[in-house]
Amino acid sequence: MLNQEGWEDEINQINNNCIYFNIELVHLIITYDPLLVEPVVVAPALFYQYFSYDLNVPGRITLEIELNLVPPPYVPPIPAGDTVLAFISMDIVADDMCMDISTQLYFYEDPNTPYPDNLLMLENGTFIIPPELMLTSGEIYIYSPDYGDLNLNGYPFEVGDIVVFVSYFTGQIEFTAEQMANSDCNRDGIQATVADLVYMLRIVNGEPDTLLIAPPELPNADEVYHALARFNPLLVDEAFSDNAVFTIFVWTDEPLGGFALPIEFPDNVYHIGETVLGDDVTGLQLATGTVDNTVKVLGYSFNEYQLPEGAFELIRIPFEASGCVNVEDFNVDSADFSDKFGRKTDIEYEIRITHPAPDSNSIETTEPAMETPKAFPNPFNSAVTISFASSRPCFASVEIFNILGKKVATLINRFIQPGKYSVIWDGKTRSGEIVATGLYLCRIQLGSENCSIKLHYLK
């Protein structure tokens, strides 16, 4: 019996039913509609001495299996009962059907051959042929996608479809075959990506349903390395235990529209805290869901907000573990990013693990963490060195703002140990553009303490 139900790239299963003797030979011819589907490959489900198939005649699949050949190795015959013999992978070749179509697969008897084309030979040498051999037709159901209709109410690109999409990304629901077909909103041939969600958001917000699927250019590898290197948190490659923070940093040369990250935590993590966005991406909507020890994180926006360019901290997840963990213990499978147009894009990202800053209540000393910072030279026309010192462990950030209060650059954003530090600002934004001449503010924060230095940039 041949069964197939579904859509593109579904698998056929050939089953042997109601046979009470072992089988040593199989010969079958299966027909299909070549205007709708096309077989790609036929693969054996068991180990056979001989397995052959022929796809050269459009509309036909010829399959032959033998197990009684000489010389050895000996291969036991196909056992009686319900057995899967082979798998047939097929592609959908029909375009613009405008409707769902069901098509049948049949067993074919060629009138020009002097022997039956569909037969089984049992272990005792007996041939089983029609009508003793009962052959049942199979079915392929081909969905004509209604792109954007994920709640299957007949109306695509609604707020309800967004809610369904978010539920899928956070692991609350699984898509049916029809929903999966409808999920390729940007029609790039890849279903249920965060790029499809971003594209749907554009349409719901009133933008035209235009196809903008030209792939973006990949970033330069050297630029990515140097951009991410500036974060360089302490002890990134060492093992941690007890309280720690899982962090993902990313680098991109163009604004992003959204992201989806399934993050698998190691088994010895017994508590996973609340996921928060990095300081530079707080304008996004954040949705999360946990399935077993995997946290599914989705970032998206209902308005014009976009992720920043360059290198930045994307998300942080505090956790507690019994024993040691390190970066290699975490698995981010199929990280998914989209640009602002709803096009799937590949960007560089890096996993870091750090200890959070200690609770201020647990610090016995009342000595301030920060010593007076300095900037030299100031005014400057190429680069300025900002120096500061901390008397105790804390989380540190050094940021540059223009006179309008807009953040221009982030120089440090990590946990530090007691000691003296210096960082250089070259008068450029996070995306590498040279800033205009004028007055800028450098804000330094160590734990709960902060101070500012005025910087005069000259050209």
377 and 408 assigned to the same domain: yes
In this structure, what token pair is assigned to residue 439? 């007055």
Taking residues 448-456, what's their average pLDDT? 85
| Residue-level pLDDT at 29 | 95
Average pLDDT over the chain, rounded to whole?
Answer: 80
17 and 68 assigned to the same domain: yes
Between 287 and 72, residue with greater pLDDT? 287
Does 156 map to a domain? no
Residues 128-164: b if buried by 16+ CB within 10 A, e if exposed: beeeebeeeebebebbbbebbbbbeeeebbbeebbeb
pLDDT beyond 90 at 3: no
Which whole-number Å values give the CA distances from 3 to 39, 136, 146, in the listed order? 14, 9, 26
In this structure, what token pair is assigned to residue 376? 């030299």
Does 360 map to a domain? no
pLDDT beyond 60 at 14: no
| Residue-level pLDDT at 240 | 44
For residue range 155-211, list pLDDT tens digits in order: 888 888 888 998 899 888 999 888 998 999 888 888 999 889 988 988 887 777 666
| Cis status, amide bond into 379, omega within 30 of 0 | yes
291 and 371 assigned to the same domain: no
Between 446 and 27, residue with greater pLDDT? 27
Does 299 map to a domain? yes
Could you tell me the pTM of the whole model? 0.49
Within 13 Å, how many C-alpha atoms sit on residue 329's CB side? 19
Give the pLDDT band (50/70/90) at residue 107.
very high
384 and 337 assigned to the same domain: no
| Residue-level pLDDT at 165 | 92
313 and 420 assigned to the same domain: no
Does 176 map to a domain? no
377 and 335 assigned to the same domain: no
Does 183 map to a domain? no
For residue range 277-300, list pLDDT tens digits in order: 887 776 778 888 888 889 999 888
Give the pLDDT band (50/70/90) at residue 97.
low
Region of poorest pLDDT, from 56-60, 232-236, 435-439: 232-236
Taking residues 404-409, what's their average pLDDT? 85
| Residue-level pLDDT at 18 | 42
| Residue-level pLDDT at 140 | 87
6 and 138 assigned to the same domain: yes
Does 147 map to a domain? no
d(CA 352, CA 316): 10
| Residue-level pLDDT at 181 | 87
Does 216 map to a domain? no
Amino acid letter, 254: E
14 and 131 assigned to the same domain: yes
348 and 425 assigned to the same domain: no
For residue range 238-265, list pLDDT tens digits in order: 444 456 888 888 877 777 788 889 999 9
137 and 239 assigned to the same domain: no
382 and 316 assigned to the same domain: no
d(CA 150, CA 169): 13
Share of the chain above pLDDT 90, in %: 22
Give the pLDDT band (50/70/90) at residue 235.
very low
342 and 372 assigned to the same domain: no
CA angle 268, 274, 279 (to 5 degrees): 120
Question: Domain ends where: 100, 121, 142?
Answer: 142
For residue range 44-71, list pLDDT tens digits in order: 999 999 999 999 999 999 999 998 887 7
State how many domains the chain has.
3
Region of poorest pLDDT, from 127-141, 167-181, 361-375, 409-423: 361-375
Parent domain of 420: 365-457
**Closest to 357 in 3D by CA, of 309, 326, 392:** 392
d(CA 357, CA 186): 43
For residue range 352-381, list pLDDT tens digits in order: 887 654 444 443 444 556 778 899 999 998
d(CA 399, CA 158): 40
Question: Domain ends where: 142, 176, 211?
Answer: 142
- CATH at 97: 2.60.40.680
- CATH at 385: 2.60.40.1930
pLDDT beyond 60 at 228: no
| Residue-level pLDDT at 321 | 82
Question: Domain ends where: 122, 142, 162?
Answer: 142
Q: How many residues does the chain have?
A: 459
pLDDT beyond 90 at 30: yes
Contact at 8 Å (CB) between 4 and 12? yes
Does 131 map to a domain? yes
